Amino acid sequence: MTARSPELEILEIKNDTITFILSNTDISVANALRRVMIAEVPTMCIDLVEFEANNSVLCDEFIAHRLGLIPLISEEVNRFNYTRDCSCSERCDNCSVEFRLHVKCTDDKARDVTSSDLISQNDMVIPVSSAQSLNHNNNTPDRPEQEIPIVKLRKGQELKLKAIAKKGVGKEHAKWIPACVATYQFQPHIVINQNRLDELSDKQKEDWVASCPAKVYSYVPHQRNQVTIEDPLRCMYCMECKKKADTYGKPDLVTIEQKTDRFIFTVETTGALKPEDIVLYAIQIIKRKLTDIQTQLQTQIQEG
Ligand SMILES: [Zn+2]
């Protein structure tokens, strides 16, 4: 077996998702990429909240937790230091971003406090869903911009706080994970046995095609190749078509196998980073880890 060099083919990029095929490699490499995307690609998140006033129905800890989970646009995250690595004593503009929130309800009608009420001191790091980010990022037509609710205030209730966002990774706390979906599946390899298919009646063919919930096959009556594989990538290995074939007494009507060296990835962003950037940063991180090992090895060899 010769050495392989992995390849990547993009199938689709949307504002919030990327799908691509990673091929010519092993499951260990595919899984390393998936895990680094989840656990080690940094983003910015609220990590410290100082309350000045809160007589809402939710306690301070509850609101602080909710604030931490609001995704912040983190495209400039690489400009920031981790607070633990920064040269400052507590925190500075190089390792944190300050947010202010002050809402008081004076109406009889309840007031929703949302991510739009969080005012950032740094235009580059703002909540993903807010009026501020709508102006910042007007190229997101397919993502409904909805503000994220934090708490409801009744008349006379007030919420005033200062929140500090810091750089972090998903390993420390799930709030820093940039992807809400990061999965892969083996590429399906589907073959229909044409001889067996010819033995079926038109009604049976139609029913067999309809048995697939993912609509992998298509059936066109009165044509020579009535049954075709429309999109093998839709297959989710539920094997409903195999079960249906068994009821006809034709277990060899179709074979479905997994190509164990081709992985179809789907990555959906929380909005913190562009989906393609999550993949790029993850590859950079894997590369940096390998370079670090190389350097360590070289140093130890030189030191004898
Ligand atoms: Zn600092």
Give all domains of the chain, ordered by start, each with its CATH number.
1-41+178-188+258-304 (3.30.1360.10), 43-177 (2.170.120.12), 194-252 (3.30.70.20)
Question: Is residue 142 over pLDDT 50?
Answer: no
Whether the per-residue pLDDT at 136 is higher than 60: the answer is no
Going from the Cα of 64 to the center of ligand 1, the distance in angstroms, rounded, reads: 22
Per the prediction, the chain carries an average pLDDT of 91
* pLDDT score of 12 more than 90: yes
pLDDT at 118 over 60: yes
Strands of the chain, DSSP E = 7-13, 17-23, 43-54, 96-104, 111-114, 119-120, 149-153, 158-168, 179-192, 217-219, 227-229, 254-269
pLDDT band for position 132 (50/70/90)?
A: low
CA of 209 to the centre of ligand 1 (A): 61
pLDDT of residue 233: 87
Residue by residue, DSSP assigns 63-99 as: HHHHHHTS-B--TTGGGSPPGGGSSSSS--TTTEEEE
| Residue 191 alpha carbon to ligand 1 centre in Å | 59
- CA–CA gap between residue 34 and residue 234 (Å, rounded): 20
DSSP letter for each residue of 102-132:
EEE--SSS-EEEEGGG-EESSTTS-BSSSHH
pLDDT tens for each residue of 156-212? 999 999 999 999 999 999 999 999 999 999 989 999 998 998 898 888 999 999 999
- 219 - beta bridge partners? 227
Q: Could you tell me the two tokens for 51? A: 């309350």
Residue-level pLDDT at 150 = 95
Q: Residue 208 C-alpha to ligand 1 middle, in angstroms?
A: 63
| pLDDT confidence bin for 304, thresholds 50/70/90 | confident
**Coil, strand or helix: which one is 101?**
strand
Percent of the chain exceeding pLDDT 90 equals 80
The string of DSSP codes covering 202-217 is HHHHHHHHHT-TT--E
For 185, residues 6+ apart whose C-beta sits below 8 A from its C-beta are: 236, 263, 264
Checking if the pLDDT of 144 tops 50, the result is no
What does the pLDDT read at residue 4?
A: 84
Residue 195 host element (H or E): helix 194-198
Q: What's the pLDDT score for residue 107? A: 92
What separation in Å is there between the alpha carbon of 71 and the centre of ligand 1? 21
β-pair type (7-13, 17-23): antiparallel
Q: Which of 125-134, 150-159, 255-264 has the lowest mean pLDDT?
A: 125-134
Residue 166 CA, ligand 1 centroid: distance in Å: 10
3-class DSSP assignment, residue 225: coil
The answer on pLDDT for 138 being more than 70 is no
Task: Name the least confident of 141-155, 170-184, 246-260.
Answer: 141-155
Work out the pLDDT band at 135, boundaries 50, 70, 90.
low
pLDDT at 141: 41
Of the listed ranges 6-20, 92-106, 129-143, 152-166, the least confidently predicted one is 129-143
